[in-house]
Amino acid sequence: MRQLNQLLTAIYDTQKIDSNNLKLFYTLQSIFLVGVVLLIIYIPAHYYFHVEDFIVINLIAAGLLIVAIKINTHGYHSTSTLVASATTIAHISTAIYYYGWDCGFQYYLLPIGPVFLLHLKESIFFRLSGIILSSTLLLLLHQMSLTSGTLIKIPVTSATIINDLNLLS
């Protein structure tokens, strides 16, 4: 319990954060931390479904989110958001590649746009570009799912596994 307290204290260290950005800092840190926890929670599921390659991808994505957390603790909120968003987009695309469209991983793109709105001190171009990027990707992925079904067919995508992944999501 003491190690967890020390870890959370390090994650939420506000020494280098401008007092005007504290709310943004806490919000981003919480979002990134939830992302790391979810990626780690999914590792046993990928092992269970015999997609061991995706375990490595989850570990890389979790590592990049930890980098985003570290960048955010130094006060570079926009950079940390871009790192986390790029990681999320790459991870979602890879998940769709491995598991197909029926798993619903593409809907994890929905929170990316609103995260860009949190950057009130940034230009309107920065905020709108994040919303437009995530919305365009979501619409593109949705259109591709309607026209092509699944991206690839691997033995993992049986109906039971798809239902299990939907429950996990």
pLDDT tens digits, 15-56: 888 888 898 899 999 999 999 999 999 888 888 877 788 889
* Residue 136 counted as domain residue: yes
* Residue 1 counted as domain residue: no
C-alpha span between 101 and 61 (Å, rounded): 20
* Residue 155 counted as domain residue: yes
pLDDT of residue 120: 62
Extract the residue ranges of the chain whose pLDDT is less than 70.
Answer: 117, 120-122, 141-169
- Give 30's contacts (C-beta < 8 A, 6+ positions apart): none
pLDDT of residue 145: 64
Give the distance from CA 46 to its chain's centroid: 17
pLDDT of residue 153: 44
pLDDT of residue 161: 56
In b/e form, how buried is each residue of 47-70, taking b as 16+ CB within 10 angstroms? eebebeebeebbeebbebbeebbe
How many residues are given for the chain? Answer: 169
* Residue 60 counted as domain residue: yes
* Residue 40 counted as domain residue: yes
What is this structure's pTM?
Answer: 0.74
C-alpha span between 19 and 14 (Å, rounded): 9
pLDDT of residue 4: 81
